[in-house]
Chains A and B, each alone.
Chain A
């Protein structure tokens, strides 16, 4: 049919222009803010940001929690995905649905549940005091553990979904074939399952790591100002100290880390094969 390019562009451009004006340009200006000074280009914003011990520790904590959450999600994800794939058809759909469902529910609701669980009068503390492990409730909220649990609960489904769809593409008889050839289960995992699902691991890993990095609600509710992460720090910088240069630096770090995570994971995946 006479599909000329002008017509195609006319259809695609409104969305592209909308995205450019309301998203790309403002974000680009924000990112450039840290590179600007009265004298022109400058990296002073970055130097100042990393000179602060608080900023450094928040940066490292964010990185650490991101890696921990992604790593734990991968381990649990493989176990869960393997079990799901081996379920009979109907049960498989139901369980998979139950894994996907939490994604549709407000993160505020999902995170708030942890307050009930980990709070001073929550079930965990009730149990601890009840069992006599401690005389008074211990602080579980506003700890890295709380943030870690919240983030893991929030993003684990993404890992499971990625791994399930990767495992569904493993040819049917490959695993029995490997077993017949004498491979132990450990061998089967590292020599067969892992190489065949690394695409899914890369996607899931990037989603979970990036998600953990850029989550706001969870560190805000479960970490508060005691356990700051980059997102909550950014909010503070803007709302408390009006420090837009630091905000710009954090924005750049978050974006760079997301891209880096994807690149590193891809590199690892290709190096293995």
Chain B
């Protein structure tokens, strides 16, 4: 009896959480011209159409580039910071931790607006660079946190052992620390990539004419057109995220880092 109730509750919760994706996948597979569920016949024409829309292609490339390079930059800044916060008795370590973690606490729309008004406009930064800076700042807290927690489990005396065996400090880091936090770094990359790729509020004010991230582009398209192509694109993006997470989980048990 209890068993039955358990699965009942879980079933309803999962339908609420996952059901909308099933609906959107099917709505995108409609043969008709309008967004509807159940779909008016099945076809893949809207899925195909998504790839022919020029602005989607451009914004997809931009979002990809921002997610990849923003996350890499965040890791380049974040790994040394995580290392220093773990291994050194730093003056003001708490302050540094708070500063680096802060972009996670403040609503993205505010970050975007503040950047636009006080950095991008006065310094005449191009839209692409502005987006790049914003996405890096956004991902940095995740990079530091995830790398930090995987470094936390790594004993400091392992590096000392490496040095006594002849390593320079740098070699001790690349030969001993890095191989052992590889999982954490990869997890941070994936988490950062997904966060950046899906990000809307930060990019809202920073996107300019012709330079839009994919989610912003989708919002704009939605306001004008009411056909199933957004549903199809949403479904494709969901599949992309699922694929990334699935591969990551298989490779390194991703979920323990989230």
**Are chains A and B touching in the complex at the 8 Å CB cutoff?**
yes
Binding site for B on A (CB under 8 A): 1, 3, 5, 7-9, 11-16, 18-27, 29-30, 76, 79-80, 83-84, 86-87, 95-110, 112-117, 119, 121-123, 152-153, 156-157, 160-161, 213-214, 216-217, 220-221, 231, 234-235, 238, 244, 247, 251, 254-255, 258
Render B81-118 as a binary contact track against A, CB cut-off 8 A, 1 for contact: 10111011111010010011011011111110111011
A residues in contact with B201, CB < 8 Å = 214, 216-217, 231
CB distance B99 to A16 under 8 Å? yes
Specify which of B93, B136, B234 is in contact with A109 (CB 8 Å cutoff). B234
A113 to B25, CA, bound (A): 9
CB distance A11 to B34 under 8 Å? no
Specify which of A153, A234, A247, A251 is in contact with B17 (CB 8 Å cutoff). A153
Distance to closest chain B CB from A128 (angstroms): 14
CB distance A106 to B222 under 8 Å? no
Distance to closest chain B CB from A121 (angstroms): 5
CB distance A26 to B85 under 8 Å? no
Sampled A-B contacts (25; CB under 8 Å): A3-B88, A5-B88, A12-B96, A15-B80, A16-B81, A19-B100, A19-B137, A27-B106, A27-B110, A29-B118, A87-B10, A97-B249, A98-B14, A101-B18, A102-B17, A105-B21, A105-B198, A106-B234, A106-B238, A107-B215, A152-B16, A153-B16, A216-B201, A217-B201, A258-B107
- Closest residue of chain A to B245 (Cβ to Cβ) is A104
Specify which of B88, B108, B233 is in contact with A214 (CB 8 Å cutoff). B108
A13 to B83, CA, bound (A): 12
**Given known contacts A79-B9, A116-B231, A18 and B136 CB-to-CB distance under 8 angstroms:** yes
Chain B interfacial residues counted at CB < 8 A: 85
CB distance B108 to A12 under 8 Å? no
CB distance B18 to A98 under 8 Å? yes
**Given known contacts A5-B88, A117-B37, A19 and B205 CB-to-CB distance under 8 angstroms:** no
Specify which of B81, B85, B91, B134 is in contact with A22 (CB 8 Å cutoff). B134
A35 to B53, CA, bound (A): 46
Overall SS of chain A's interface: helix
Specify which of B16, B84, B99, B215 is in contact with A156 (CB 8 Å cutoff). B16
Q: Does B41 contact A (CB under 8 A)?
A: no
**Given known contacts A15-B144, A27-B114, A83-B9, A8 and B87 CB-to-CB distance under 8 angstroms:** yes
Q: Does B211 contact A (CB under 8 A)?
A: no
- Closest residue of chain B to A21 (Cβ to Cβ) is B119
Specify which of A13, A24, A103, A235 is in contact with B102 (CB 8 Å cutoff). A24
CB distance A3 to B117 under 8 Å? no
A76 to B84, CA, bound (A): 41
Distance to closest chain A CB from B151 (angstroms): 12
Distance to closest chain A CB from B97 (angstroms): 9
6 residue pairs, one from A and one from B, having the closest CB atoms: A8-B88, A113-B20, A109-B234, A26-B114, A214-B107, A15-B81
